[in-house]
């Protein structure tokens, strides 16, 4: 239901702030009412506490006289939005959101206790516009590791739950937001892509990216943009990523990445391979059987510095693994290691693997749970 109130009739019923708080309309337009900036400030505070009309989607109040922004926004914990930012709000009813020659002078976002977001706009006509964002954009609370960044050839995607932001190049003139097959575009107010990503991370209070995905070699300086990323939980190197770009990505990002997954080995020499292999990496997965071209052997496994290590289809013998276990028992191998997964090629011989290890056999029926902080599967 849309309720527009115009001019003097509403004055005769002594319309007050209490009436505004009791309204149950989704769209409400009020013109020349006896409400001031302090009244609106009180209303916004109640809205933020979810103590007034929960159905409200749009409110337009035209106040006589100048709007005092200090009174209007006092204590609201607002987030300023550049006036140049282009937003499109879908409003129920036949509402003309801006009149001829009317311009927005200031714009701020506020957030309700349940996470719902709204935008307050002030115009040159002394009008206060209040837009409540659609409930579908009311995201679930964002965990510290719930943002993914996808690097494409021409753009960067920032994924937050089911919402995606698209930035184009180092300076994106327009930022696109996609959410459930709906697109909204913003006119960028001169901020670089690096600054935009930095602000999103600050607003969401996410200190880490969940995953950084490399889909193509970018035609822009992606590493200057990624300077603002202080921690990455997972960095996969796909097989279709060029060796040059993959090597650069590992050099720049491995110091801040918890888990690296290699679906290809982009290194041109054994020295490049060892630089990553012996570096400070928490979790390393290698899905490739071509380690032999780097003369990979048991000594490399002993020299690894990873906490969790997964080697799939790597050509290693049972005697090599037996030697590794012997070294571990003697505390002469990677002391940080707490998870190792190796997929061997060929026949499995328990006697060779466990030779002189003084191993204690457990029955298959006995259940033991091993905790792992990584995403490595325990069984396939």
Rounded to whole angstroms, the Cα distance separating 332 from 378 reads 26
Strand order in the sheet with 127-132: 2-5, 27-31, 58-62, 127-132, 117-123, 104-111, 79-80
Do 130 and 151 belong to one domain? no
Do 199 and 125 belong to one domain? no
**116 is a domain residue:** yes
Task: Considering only residues 116 and 87, tell me which one the structure prediction assigns the higher pLDDT.
Answer: 116
Tell me how many domains the chain contains. 2
Angle at CA 57, nearest 5°, toward 53 and 59? 85
304-339 confidence digits (pLDDT tens)? 889 999 888 777 788 888 898 999 898 888 888 888
Asked whether residue 2 carries a pLDDT value surpassing 60, the answer given is no
Checking phi first, is residue 77 left (phi over 0); if not, alpha (psi -120 to 50) or beta? left
Do 128 and 161 belong to one domain? no
**Out of 159-163, 238-242, 318-322, least confident range:** 159-163
**260 is a domain residue:** yes
pLDDT for the residue numbered 260: 94
Average pLDDT of the residues of the chain: 80
Structural domain ending residue among the three candidates 91, 107, 137: 137
Task: Considering only residues 133 and 213, tell me which one the structure prediction assigns the higher pLDDT.
Answer: 213
201-215 confidence digits (pLDDT tens)? 887 778 788 899 998
pLDDT for the residue numbered 7: 44
Structure token pair of residue 66: 């100048």
Asked whether residue 105 carries a pLDDT value surpassing 90, the answer given is no
Other C-beta atoms lying within 10 Å of the C-beta of residue 127: 21
**142 is a domain residue:** no
Collapse the DSSP code of 327 into the 3-class scheme (helix H, G, I; strand E, B; otherwise coil) and give the result. Answer: helix
Q: How many residues does the chain have?
A: 380
**Out of 23-37, 177-191, 212-226, 288-302, least confident range:** 177-191
**Out of 175-184, 190-199, 208-217, least confident range:** 175-184
Mark 130-167 as b/e (b = at least 16 C-beta within 10 Å).
bbbbeeebebeeeeebbbbbbbbeebbbbbbeeebbbb
**362 is a domain residue:** no
pLDDT for the residue numbered 259: 93
Do 60 and 22 belong to one domain? yes
Do 200 and 306 belong to one domain? yes
pLDDT for the residue numbered 10: 46
Domain that holds residue 80: 2-137
Rounded to whole angstroms, the Cα distance separating 233 from 72 reads 42
Asked whether residue 280 carries a pLDDT value surpassing 50, the answer given is yes
Structure token pair of residue 156: 């960067």
pLDDT for the residue numbered 178: 81
Do 31 and 172 belong to one domain? no
Do 187 and 292 belong to one domain? yes
Task: Considering only residues 66 and 235, tell me which one the structure prediction assigns the higher pLDDT.
Answer: 235
Do 225 and 346 belong to one domain? yes
Do 130 and 259 belong to one domain? no
Asked whether residue 13 carries a pLDDT value surpassing 60, the answer given is no
Closest CA to 86 of 132, 134, 119: 119
Collapse the DSSP code of 43 into the 3-class scheme (helix H, G, I; strand E, B; otherwise coil) and give the result. Answer: helix
Do 133 and 153 belong to one domain? no
**210 is a domain residue:** yes
Do 92 and 207 belong to one domain? no
pTM of the model: 0.59
Q: How confident is the model at residue 261 (pLDDT cuts 50, 70, 90)?
A: very high
Asked whether residue 47 carries a pLDDT value surpassing 90, the answer given is yes
Average pLDDT of the segment spanning 6-16: 55
**Out of 64-68, 152-156, 315-319, 326-330, least confident range:** 64-68
pLDDT for the residue numbered 137: 45
**302 is a domain residue:** yes
Structural domain ending residue among the three candidates 70, 103, 137: 137
Rounded to whole angstroms, the Cα distance separating 12 from 131 reads 28
Asked whether residue 378 carries a pLDDT value surpassing 60, the answer given is no
- The answer to whether 326 touches 302, Cβ cutoff 8 Å, is no
Rounded to whole angstroms, the Cα distance separating 319 from 336 reads 22
Percent of the chain with pLDDT strictly greater than 70: 81
Instruction: Kindly give the residue spans of alpha helices, DSSP state H, lying in the chain.
Output: 9-12, 17-22, 37-48, 69-73, 193-204, 222-225, 243-253, 270-277, 298-303, 318-329, 350-353
Angle at CA 283, nearest 5°, toward 282 and 286? 140
- CA–CA distance from 120 to each of 60, 148, 189 (Å)? 10, 29, 18
Task: Considering only residues 10 and 185, tell me which one the structure prediction assigns the higher pLDDT.
Answer: 185
Asked whether residue 76 carries a pLDDT value surpassing 70, the answer given is yes
Asked whether residue 95 carries a pLDDT value surpassing 70, the answer given is no
- The answer to whether 2 touches 95, Cβ cutoff 8 Å, is yes
pLDDT for the residue numbered 8: 45
CATH (domain of 207):
3.80.10
Asked whether residue 45 carries a pLDDT value surpassing 90, the answer given is yes
Rounded to whole angstroms, the Cα distance separating 228 from 230 reads 6
- The answer to whether 194 touches 222, Cβ cutoff 8 Å, is no
Q: How confident is the model at residue 374 (pLDDT cuts 50, 70, 90)?
A: low
Residue entry with tokens 């609370």 = 141
Q: How far is CA 190 from the centre of its chain?
A: 22
pLDDT for the residue numbered 289: 62
**83 is a domain residue:** yes
**372 is a domain residue:** no
Across 185-189, 324-328, 339-343, the highest mean pLDDT is recorded for 324-328
**Out of 16-30, 141-155, 230-244, 288-302, least confident range:** 141-155
Do 123 and 194 belong to one domain? no
């Amino acid at each position: 239901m849309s309720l527009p109130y115009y001019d003097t009739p509403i004055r005769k019923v002594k319309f007050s702030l209490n009436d505004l708080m009791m309204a149950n309309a989704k769209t409400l337009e009020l013109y020349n009412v006896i409400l001031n900036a302090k009244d609106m400030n009180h209303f916004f505070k109640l809205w933020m506490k979810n103590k007034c009309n929960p159905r409200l989607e749009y409110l337009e109040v035209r106040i006589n006289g100048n709007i005092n922004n200090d009174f209007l926004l006092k204590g609201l914990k607002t987030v300023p939005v550049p006036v140049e930012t282009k937003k499109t709000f879908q409003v129920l009813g036949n509402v003309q959101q801006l009149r001829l020659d009317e311009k927005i002078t200031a714009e701020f976002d506020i957030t309700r206790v349940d996470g719902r977001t709204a935008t307050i706009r002030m115009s040159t006509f002394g009008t206060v516009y209040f837009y409540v964002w659609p409930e579908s954009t009311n995201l679930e609370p964002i965990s510290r590791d719930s943002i993914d960044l996808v690097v494409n050839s021409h753009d960067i995607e920032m994924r937050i739950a089911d919402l995606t932001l698209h930035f184009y190049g180092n300076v994106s003139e327009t930022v696109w937001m996609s959410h459930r097959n709906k697109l909204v575009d913003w006119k960028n107010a001169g901020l670089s892509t690096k600054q935009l990503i930095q602000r999103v991370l600050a607003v969401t209070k996410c200190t880490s990216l969940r995953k950084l995905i490399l889909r193509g070699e970018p035609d822009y300086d992606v590493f200057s943009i990624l300077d603002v990323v202080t921690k990455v939980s997972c960095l996969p190197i796909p097989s279709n990523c060029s060796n040059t770009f993959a090597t650069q990505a590992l050099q720049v990002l491995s110091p801040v990445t918890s888990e690296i997954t290699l679906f290809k080995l982009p290194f041109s020499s054994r020295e490049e391979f060892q630089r990553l292999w012996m570096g400070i990496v928490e979790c390393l997965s290698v899905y490739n059987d071509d380690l032999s071209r780097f003369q990979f052997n048991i000594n490399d496994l002993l020299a690894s510095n990873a906490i969790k290590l997964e080697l799939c289809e790597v050509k290693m013998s049972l005697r090599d693994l037996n030697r590794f276990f012997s070294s571990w028992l003697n505390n002469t191998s990677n002391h940080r290691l707490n998870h190792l997964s190796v997929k061997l090629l060929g026949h499995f011989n328990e006697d060779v693997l466990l030779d002189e290890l003084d191993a204690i056999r457990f029955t298959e029926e006995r259940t033991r749970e091993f905790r792992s902080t990584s995403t490595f599967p325990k069984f396939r």
